[in-house]
Amino acid sequence: MKKYIQYGKEYKKYFFLAPILTLVDTLAEVVLPMLMSIIVSNGVMAQDIPYIIKIGIVMVLVAMLAMGSAIIGAYCSARASVGLGANLRQGMFDKVQQFSFANIDTFSTGSLVTRLTNDITQVQNVAMMGLRMALRAPIMLIGAVIMAISLDSELAVVFCVAIPVLAVALVLIMKNAFPRFDNLQKMYDRLNSNVEENATNVRVVKSFVREDYEREKFEESNSLLYRAAWKAIRLVIMDMPVMTLVMNVTTIAVVWFGGNKILGGQMQVANLMAFITYTFQILMSLMMMSMIFIMGSRAVISSRRILAVLNEEVDLKSSDASQKNGYTVESGRVEFKDVCFKYKDGGEDVLKDINFTINSGETVAIIGATGSAKTSLVQLIPRLYDVTAGQVLVDGRDVKDYTVEHLRDSVSMVLQKNVLFSGTIRDNLKWGDEHADDTEIIAAAKAAQAHDFIMSMRDGYDTYLSQGGVNVSGGQKQRLCIARALLKKPKILILDDSTSAVDTATEAKIRETFNTSLKAATKIIIAQRITSVMDADKIIILDNGQIVGMGSHDELLKNNVEYQEIYYSQKDREVSA
Ligand SMILES: Nc1ncnc2c1ncn2[C@@H]1O[C@H](COP(=O)(O)OP(=O)(O)OP(=O)(O)O)[C@@H](O)[C@H]1O
Ligand SMILES: [Mg+2]
């Protein structure tokens, strides 16, 4: 609730006005039938024209009051709820921007999309309805019951039967509603994940001719959603006939007993008319309440899902101490001390007892089979994830002692799965340094061996890249990503398999420029090809999350079985090719 106050406070005027106006509107509506009955019994029967005019004017005023407050009340509640929805969306999006990699692993992308759109819409709709109906229904119920009793307390006994029957029906419906709506939202997640995955990977789907398979997959999640929705909606529409039945039976009972009373001379026609109107009001308010409960239970589910995102603890925050310390990375020495690491989803340690030191300015290569945890290892340096045990040190200080912003500014990492964004090449490179001028941009592009192909494109650095950089080749994209990383002028540069699509000659040139333009920086290069790693000062061999060899190319070739295996298998292939 505190969260909602935070996001709604901008619109607090409307949040206060809406219920107050509803109160006025409802009271006016409850008074009207009573005035009507008074006019008929005291004015019409006695043919007292001035009395009729007097009460008539009061009635018109009351009706106008009801209409005015209903219109303004509706306006206020719409303003308040739409505003709350917009603020919630913004708040949630901002929160997601703060998420660490581990946080993102907890929510699937599809689920985040549902939560940001559908769930917020549910809450918004219920807020709009609730601001008016939540107050209107009980007030109308109480007001109408009091009026009805004051008209004829004997006849009001009918409600003693109708109200409990409705209450029991409501409780039964509610009890079933929660799990069904919960399931419904989960099915929305599933569908959204499906669409998201398909839309982002449409090229892969096409190249593998998997359209039919994808269609089937979608059909399945769509039909699951359909069934979940039908199950939930069925309950909601059940509500209607039950209500109408009770309403009709009650009205008949009122007319029957009331009619008999009139025949017996114990009741006036005018009073019965008013009584019937109150009967309608009572039953209408009960119906409204049942709608509120049903929609409300859906909103409660959605609200829980929204709050789960808003209240998710962002790990990897900069600690207060690190803000105060103000430490900066100077040389870029990297040290791993007894590091173990595992992902949040449980399972076993992905990295086990990792120990090594990289001095500043050194080039270190990491090599190992796929799944040997190379990526997992380097992600610990810019704190994309945090270690489970042990310490990662930069310049002799725990990485947690730096602010995350500063650490990530000093450590430039070219991710294995990299993307470019919609925009010109220049815009994309400027992600590395938004204040970079053209000379710096060109220097970085030259170092990454990207300048020549950029210049050969029609618009040079102003060439527009469409989403994800689909209009450049794989190797070109990798070189743009390297240039982007170089612009940061990092103290530590990490390339995670970033030259896999670049030919060996170009790759050698890139490595050469590193040795001149990035001499002082620590360079960590993950690669599959021996040719990419053999010049490194040190080579680390990873196998199944453990270091099984460390040293220079010559040392390893002499006395490390794993390295020899990789070396000779690749050499053989080269020879046979
Ligand atoms: N986000 C994640 N959540 C859970 N497990 C993960 C995650 N990322 C990787 N893993 C697991 O951690 C292990 C190591 O993966 P990692 O990506 O570090 O390997 P790698 O050596 O970089 O492989 P490759 O050469 O294919 O890039 C794998 O078993 C993988 O299943
Ligand atoms: Mg990897």
Using alpha carbons, select from 58, 209, 18, 193 the residue that is nearest to residue 113. Answer: 193
In 285-371, which ranges are E strands?
334-341, 351-358, 363-368
In one-letter notation, the amino acid at residue 238 is: M
Mean pLDDT of 437-452: 92
Neighbours of 234 (CB within 10 A): 11
Average pLDDT of the chain is 88
3-state DSSP assignment of residue 330: coil
Helix (H) or strand (E) holding 483: helix 474-486
Q: Give the range among 345-349, 529-533, 550-554 with minimum mean pLDDT.
A: 345-349
Nearest atom in ligand 1 to 377's CA: 18
Mean pLDDT of 221-244: 87
Rounded Cα distance between 513 and 171, Å, is: 74
Could you report the per-residue pLDDT of 89-138, keeping only the tens digit for each?
A: 999 999 998 888 888 888 888 888 889 998 999 999 999 888 888 888 88
pLDDT at 443: 92
The verdict on the CB of residue 498 being under 6 Å from ligand 1 is no
pLDDT at 565 over 90: no
Nearest atom in ligand 1 to 416's CA: 27
411-414, strands of its sheet edge to edge: 411-414, 492-496, 522-526, 363-368, 538-543, 546-551
> Closest residue (by CA) to atom 8 of ligand 1?
376
User: Roughly how many angstroms between the first and final C-alpha of the chain, as a whole number?
Assistant: 67
Candidate of 105, 370, 376 to mutate for ligand 1, largest count of ligand atoms within 8 Å of Cβ: 376
Distance 378 CA to ligand 2 centre (A): 9
Q: Give the range among 42-46, 86-90, 267-271, 453-457 with minimum mean pLDDT.
A: 42-46
The verdict on the CB of residue 343 being under 6 Å from ligand 1 is yes
Helix (H) or strand (E) holding 564: helix 561-576
> Closest residue (by CA) to atom 30 of ligand 1?
371
Distance 259 CA to ligand 2 centre (A): 84
Mean pLDDT of 552-567: 89
Rounded Cα distance between 64 and 316, Å, is: 59
The verdict on the CB of residue 374 being under 6 Å from ligand 1 is yes
Rounded Cα distance between 144 and 30, Å, is: 6
Give the strand pairing for 334-341 and 546-551: unpaired
Nearest atom in ligand 1 to 373's CA: 18
Mean pLDDT of 372-397: 92
Q: Give the range among 71-75, 125-129, 283-287, 486-490 with minimum mean pLDDT.
A: 283-287
Given pLDDT bands bounded at 50, 70 and 90, which one contains residue 236? confident
Rounded Cα distance between 465 and 453, Å, is: 14
Distance 371 CA to ligand 1 centre (A): 5
pLDDT at 526: 93
> Closest residue (by CA) to atom 24 of ligand 1?
370
pLDDT at 573 over 80: no
pLDDT at 295 over 80: yes
pLDDT at 577: 58
Q: Higher confidence at residue 471 or residue 457?
A: 457
Percent residues over pLDDT 90 in the chain:
34
pLDDT at 5: 85
Given pLDDT bands bounded at 50, 70 and 90, which one contains residue 209? confident
Nearest atom in ligand 1 to 379's CA: 18
The verdict on the CB of residue 372 being under 6 Å from ligand 1 is yes
CB 448 within 8 A of CB 482: yes
pLDDT at 320 over 80: no
Partnered with residue 538 across adjacent β-strands are 364
Distance 386 CA to ligand 1 centre (A): 15
Mean pLDDT of 159-170: 82
Distance 372 CA to ligand 1 centre (A): 7
Cite the DSSP H helix spans in 152-210: 157-200, 202-207
* Sign for the pseudo-dihedral over CA of 233, 238, 241, 243: negative
pLDDT at 574: 66
Print the SS3 string covering 486-531.
Answer: HCCCCCEEEEECCCCCCCHHHHHHHHHHHHHHCCCCEEEEECCCHH
CB 120 within 8 A of CB 309: no
- Which of 124-127's residues contact partners 24+ apart within 8 Å by CB, and which partners? 124/81, 124/82, 124/84, 124/85, 124/88, 125/81, 125/295, 125/299, 126/295, 126/296, 126/298, 126/299, 127/77, 127/80, 127/81, 127/84, 127/85, 127/299
Half-sphere exposure of 158 (CA within 13 A, CB side): 26
Could you report the per-residue pLDDT of 409-435, keeping only the tens digit for each?
A: 899 998 888 788 888 999 889 988 888
* CA of 371, nearest ligand number: 1
Rounded Cα distance between 522 and 494, Å, is: 8
The verdict on the CB of residue 342 being under 6 Å from ligand 1 is no
CB 38 within 8 A of CB 55: yes
> Closest residue (by CA) to atom 29 of ligand 1?
371
Rounded Cα distance between 332 and 327, Å, is: 13
pLDDT at 65: 94
* CA of 105, nearest ligand number: 1
CB 477 within 8 A of CB 504: no
Q: What phi and psi values does residue 470 have, to the nearest 5 degrees?
A: -75, -20
Could you report the per-residue pLDDT of 7-50, keeping only the tens digit for each?
A: 888 899 999 999 999 999 999 988 998 888 888 888 887 888 88
Rounded Cα distance between 235 and 556, Å, is: 70
Mean pLDDT of 346-372: 90
Neighbours of 422 (CB within 10 A): 12
pTM of the model as a whole: 0.74
Residue 153 exposed, middle or buried by CB count within 10 Å (0-12, 13-18, 19+): exposed
pLDDT at 327: 85
Given pLDDT bands bounded at 50, 70 and 90, which one contains residue 575? low
Rounded Cα distance between 237 and 227, Å, is: 15
pLDDT at 198 over 70: yes
- Provide, for the chain, the percentages of residues in helix, strand and coil under a 3-state DSSP scheme, each rounded to the nearest 5: 70, 10, 20
504 sits in the region (left: phi over 0; alpha: psi -120 to 50; else beta) called alpha
Could you report the per-residue pLDDT of 217-231, keeping only the tens digit for each?
A: 999 999 999 999 999
Nearest atom in ligand 1 to 105's CA: 1
Given pLDDT bands bounded at 50, 70 and 90, which one contains residue 351? very high
DSSP 275-340: HHHHHHHHHHHHHHHHHHHHHHHHHHHHHHHHHHHHT---SSPPPHHHHHH-----S--EEEEEEE
The verdict on the CB of residue 544 being under 6 Å from ligand 1 is no
Mean pLDDT of 83-94: 93
- Longest distance between any two alpha carbons in the chain, whole Å: 121
The verdict on the CB of residue 320 being under 6 Å from ligand 1 is no
